[in-house]
Chain A
Amino acid sequence: QSALTQPASVSGSPGQSITISCTGTSSDVGGYDYVSWYQQHPGRPPKFLIYDVSTRPSGISSRFSGSKSGNTASLTISGLQAEDEADYYCSSQTSSNTVVFGGGTKLTVL
C-alpha cells in the first residue's frame, strides 16, 4: 500500500488560510469516508484533529476543517497562528481494511 500523497510543505502568514491536500485512490481516500488528520510538533506524538473526513473531536478549534472530493481529501486551517507551525498527516482506511498515512506536510507560518 503506497502512502497517500501530500505536498512536502506549505506556508502562510498569520491570519491567512491554507489548505493541505491528501491524494489517494479509489481504494482508499476515494472509497471510504474514513479520512483523519493529525498535527505533530517536533518531538511530540501526533494530535488528533479531524476524523470521518470532516468531524472535529471535542476540543479541536473550528479553525481546522476537513473535506473530500473524489480521491483527494483536504485540511483547511483558517486564521493561521504561530502555534499552527507543525507537520500535518492525513490517513485513510484502505480496501484491505488497513490504514495508510500520507507522507506528511510541513506547515511554516511566515
Chain B
Amino acid sequence: QVQLVQSGPEVKKPGASLKVSCKTSGYSFTSYGISWVRQAPGQGLEWMGWISGFNGNTNYAQKFQGRVTMTTDTSTNTAYLELRSLRSGDTAVYYCAREEFSVGAMGYWGQGTRVTVFS
C-alpha cells in the first residue's frame, strides 16, 4: 500500500534551517510528484510547493521563494523539504503529499512533522 512516512518533530531557533524527509513506499516514486503543505497551529492548510518525482523539477509558492528548497532521492524514494531563515511564524505541522494525476490533487499524505521555532 502507498505510504509516506515523515521524519520526527523538530525544535529550531530563529534563523536556523530545517530539513524534513518524506520516505515513500508502495508505488513508483518517479511516476508522481510530491507536494508540501503546512498548517500553523489552529490555522488552515498552506501550499508550499511541488517537486516532480521524475526529474526533480520544482514549483514553489511565491511566499517561500528564496527560502525553500525541495529535493528528491530516487535511490531511496524520499523527498526532502528544506526551509531556511526560520522565524516563529514557521511554527507548523509540515505535510508531504503525493500528487495524483491532476493539479493539486493530493491523494496520499504523510503523518505530518511538527516544527516549533522559538528562542
Contact = CB atoms under 8 A, between A and B. Distances in A.
B76 interface: no
Contacts, number: 76
B11 interface: no
A91 B102 CA distance: 12
A61 to B, nearest CB: 16
A99 B44 contact: no
B58 to A, nearest CB: 11
Per DSSP, chain B at the interface is strand
A99 B107 contact: no
A99 B103 contact: yes
Given A1-B62, A98-B62, A93 B103 contact: yes
B100 A51 contact: yes
Contacts of A99: 35, 47, 50, 103-104
Range of interface residues on chain A?
Answer: 20 to 34
A84 to B, nearest CB: 19
Nearest to B100: A51
Chain A CB within 10 Å, residue with most, of B37, B45, B46, B109? B45
B106 interface: yes
Interface in B79-119: 95, 97, 100, 102-112
Interface of A: 1, 3, 32, 34-36, 38, 40, 45-48, 51-52, 57, 89, 91-93, 96-104
